[in-house]
Amino acid sequence: MDLREQLADLEHQQWAHWTRYMLNNLTPENIERWRRQIDTPYADLSEAEKASDRRWADKVLTIIAKNG
């Protein structure tokens, strides 16, 4: 699979993971928190929120490294 397809596959995994989580945890409190996160630039997120995004970035870097 070429690099583009590997990254597209990862993007789909990320979307599916998020959508599954959202549908299983749809509460007024979570909706409020997600809206805040949507409106918050990455630089202003908490370290825990950044760590979640970094895990997905690490997956991208792994794919890129494997494709040298």
Q: What secondary structure, in 3-state letters, does the chain show?
A: CCHHHHHHHHHHHHHHHHHHHHHHCCCHHHHHHHHHHHCCCHHHCCHHHHHHHHHHHHHHHHHHHHCC
Q: Write down the pTM of the prediction.
A: 0.83
pLDDT digits (tens, 9 = 90+) for 35-52: 999 999 999 999 999 999
Percent of the chain clearing pLDDT 70 (strictly above)? 100
